[in-house]
Amino acid sequence: MTLARRTLLAAGMGSLAAPRLARAQAPERVRVILNFRQDGGTAGYLLALSRGYYREVGLEVSIDGSGGSGDAVTRTASGAYQIGTADLSTLVEFFTRNPATAPVYVAALHDISPQAIISLAHSNIGVPRDLIGKRIGQGPADATSRMFPAFCRINGLDINSMRREQVTPALRDQMLLTRQVDAVTGFDQTVFFNLKANGANPETIRMMRYADHGMDLPGNGVIAGRAFLAERPDTVRRFLAASTRCWHEVMANPRQAAAELKRQFPLLEEGIEAERIAFIRDRLMVTPRTRAEGLGFLSAARVAESITMVREGFELTGGVPSVEQVFDPRPLPPMEERRLRVA
């Protein structure tokens, strides 16, 4: 689903500190692709658009959903979209195959990756070895499914000891509920609330997070096309400033954010989306690292560790990306704008 494009007042392409200096110029058009569909997990971007924050910094933004991080990375690399949201591990894996066109990670949203294996209590899956002999439902392009071979390798599992079934995101969670599969791979903040919305007792939902089993990677963040970032770094900077502003507001008031999303996307359940936003805030975004460094930032050491982990997990043989090739923090807003505002 594509958000309707807004007709914008003329706004400048000047610096963030003084955007009013160039108001005579037309707004810049920027196409953004999400790592999945529109819901509370992407509220900071969706509401920055509807609240007019992108317009205020001279951008005319449109936002589309996708089939997963792999899809978002590929489309951003192609130039069809200038900015996207995607999982860092998926981006690193893509870089080893396409170093010349791979997008660049410019801001982390999830300090802790939401990648997880989700099951129901009757499947008796609690640790990685419990997956042996089980049926696992997986999507074709989402980050968690793409990283599953690495999860198995790191945890000493023979991936051929389980039966993997490729399913569409629309069918994945329903197949788990109807016991057609024993577990699914996906983002915890997506699958948990999908199951709950479809009647599953939350107490029966089991989530085995990759981060708790040898894969403490950052998760979703903002990516920018490599050529686009080189040619228009200030555009990326303004996008991040407006998005960061809105994410602070979303984290401070999940219920209000969910109510606004409901008005835009009537099929969403307002209560579920409010819970999803709080879940993401408390489990993925607010951590000791983000309290110290603010939203969006990753240390060079952590990026290097992530690159090594992805390469070893996938047994990749392509060129080794440098930290600078994967993550460019220069477009990030200053610390005073990134500093957490929640208790």
Distance CA 190, CA 164 (A): 20
Is the whole-model pTM more than 0.95?
Answer: no
Compute and round to an integer the Cα radius of gyration of the chain. Answer: 20
Distance CA 133, CA 174 (A): 21
* Interstrand relation of 205-209 and 115-120 (parallel, antiparallel or unpaired): antiparallel
Per-residue pLDDT tens over the stretch 49-104: 999 999 999 999 999 999 888 999 999 999 999 999 999 989 998 998 899 999 99
- How far CA 7 is from CA of 10, 243, 257, 289, in Å, comes to 9, 19, 23, 39
32 DSSP β-pair partners: 63, 83
Mean pLDDT, to the nearest integer, of 243-268?
97
Per-residue pLDDT tens over the stretch 139-157: 887 878 888 988 999 899 9
Query: Which band of pLDDT confidence, cut at 50, 70 and 90, is reported for residue 169?
Result: confident
Distance CA 55, CA 231 (A): 21
Distance CA 307, CA 301 (A): 10
Distance CA 335, CA 99 (A): 30
Q: What is the phi/psi pair of residue 242, to 5°? A: -65, -40
Q: What is the phi/psi pair of residue 2, to 5°? A: -105, 130
In the predicted model, what is the mean pLDDT of the chain?
90
Question: 327: which 2 tokens?
Answer: 């993550």
Distance CA 316, CA 297 (A): 26
Res. 245: pLDDT tops 90:
yes
Closest by CA to 57, choosing from 327, 245, 329, 338, is 245
Asked whether 238 and 58 are in contact (CB, 8 A), the reply is yes
Predicted local confidence at residue 6, as pLDDT: 34
DSSP characters for 15-43? -TT-GGGGTTSPPEEEEEE-SS-SSGGGH
Distance CA 191, CA 139 (A): 12
Reported residue count of the chain is 343
Predicted local confidence at residue 10, as pLDDT: 31
Distance CA 5, CA 61 (A): 7
